[in-house]
A = this chain, B = another copy of it.
């Protein structure tokens, strides 16, 4: 962190800031410049509160310098993390496809869709049993019944299953059934849930908050790694902007940034980014081309009858096409991108 002094700050002002820094246990290093002085704050272990110094006399600005996370950082763990779930590997040189309905509605629905997506090339099945819904009047998911159906899908098809956990209370239950536990956008900074996930033995998918910076997202991930669980997958699903032709704006530059900053795998959810079916295939191609480690896509055999998010779910024939296209793209450039 760097504290930038006013042009007219007096030596006494500078001295007072140095003392304030030292009183917090850091080392202060004044750096006289052309027409003003800046003061470096060194050897701070955790995060320093940026705003603290802004109120001191003579201070013009405060600029953060180093990143606040450690365990998720590639600087401290240079090798790509690979997550193994049964026979499936996610991370590094793999392209892993997760697909299924937004919500589990019935055994027939789940099995029908699972067979479709497996045949098309999906590696992991997704489906919500507990659904976070904006409205208290919307369908909230089948709960444990949904989890049992997921177990049945795994048993029948052999595919691992991923499902969302929405609170601490039902975490044990979800953990018991799921192969991968998903933490959704609205819970990215539900720190109680993150801490619980840190003690889980199951891999976790952590979706990016809809207005989260990459630093905040990686700090949320840090909570989970700090708790002892390093099987973490990041999932970019679009951020909220002024744009309204898609539900969210898919931020694909997050992929090269995360891959550079962190060793954790990162996948793309084009369905929630788009919010409409006709953008899902193009955005999936883009997600693989930008170098994501995988995709998570909503598919439904009869989207016009789906209980949630039907309008963004692909038909099985569209998902098949998606798989073909992204595998071709992946094949063309990934070899030489190895290790980037």
**A contact set with B: CB distance below 8 Å:** 2, 4, 6-8, 20, 23, 27, 29, 31, 33-36, 38, 40, 42-47, 49-56, 61, 63-66, 68-69, 75, 132-138, 166-169, 186-187, 189-193, 210-211, 213-214, 216, 219-220, 222-223, 226, 239-247, 249-257, 260, 273-279, 282-283, 285-291, 303-306, 308-313, 321, 325, 328-329, 331-333, 336
Q: Contact partner of A2 among B63, B69, B278, CB < 8 A?
A: B63
- Number of copies of this kind of chain in the complex: 4
Minimum C-beta distance from A148 to chain B (A)? 21
Once the chains bind, are A135 and B210 in contact (CB under 8 Å)? Answer: no
CB neighbours of A255 from chain B (8 A):
282
Known: A55-B311, A133-B191, A134-B219. A243 touches B213 (CB 8 A): yes
Q: Contact partner of A52 among B45, B245, B288, B306, CB < 8 A?
A: B306
Once the chains bind, are A168 and B166 in contact (CB under 8 Å)? Answer: no
Known: A134-B47, A246-B253. A192 touches B167 (CB 8 A): yes
Minimum C-beta distance from A281 to chain B (A)? 8
Once the chains bind, are A275 and B239 in contact (CB under 8 Å)? Answer: no
Known: A65-B61, A246-B253, A304-B56. A192 touches B211 (CB 8 A): no
CB neighbours of A42 from chain B (8 A):
33-34
CB neighbours of A54 from chain B (8 A):
276-278, 311
Q: Contact partner of A243 among B6, B63, B251, B336, CB < 8 A?
A: B251
Minimum C-beta distance from A147 to chain B (A)? 17
Once the chains bind, are A278 and B55 in contact (CB under 8 Å)? Answer: yes
Once the chains bind, are B66 and A36 in contact (CB under 8 Å)? Answer: yes
Once the chains bind, are A75 and B8 in contact (CB under 8 Å)? Answer: yes
CB neighbours of A35 from chain B (8 A):
66
Once the chains bind, are B310 and A51 in contact (CB under 8 Å)? Answer: yes
Q: How far is the CA of A312 from the CA of B109 in the complex (A)?
A: 49
CB neighbours of A226 from chain B (8 A):
136
CB neighbours of A133 from chain B (8 A):
191
Closest CB pairs A-B (n = 5): A51-B311, A46-B137, A211-B211, A167-B192, A289-B289
Once the chains bind, are A49 and B310 in contact (CB under 8 Å)? Answer: yes
Q: Contact partner of A279 among B6, B132, B257, B273, CB < 8 A?
A: B257
- Choose among A40, A216, A253 the residue with the greatest number of B CB atoms under 10 Å from its CB: A253
Once the chains bind, are A132 and B189 in contact (CB under 8 Å)? Answer: yes
Closest B-chain residue to A19, C-beta based? B304
Q: How far is the CA of A186 from the CA of B211 in the complex (A)?
A: 10
Once the chains bind, are A250 and B247 in contact (CB under 8 Å)? Answer: no
Once the chains bind, are B254 and A245 in contact (CB under 8 Å)? Answer: yes
Known: A54-B277, A325-B332. A253 touches B253 (CB 8 A): no
Q: How far is the CA of A330 from the CA of B224 in the complex (A)?
A: 39
CB neighbours of A44 from chain B (8 A):
34
CB neighbours of A52 from chain B (8 A):
303-304, 306, 310-311
Minimum C-beta distance from A28 to chain B (A)? 12
Once the chains bind, are A190 and B190 in contact (CB under 8 Å)? Answer: yes
Closest B-chain residue to A227, C-beta based? B136
Once the chains bind, are A256 and B239 in contact (CB under 8 Å)? Answer: no
CB neighbours of A239 from chain B (8 A):
241-243, 249
Closest B-chain residue to A38, C-beta based? B65
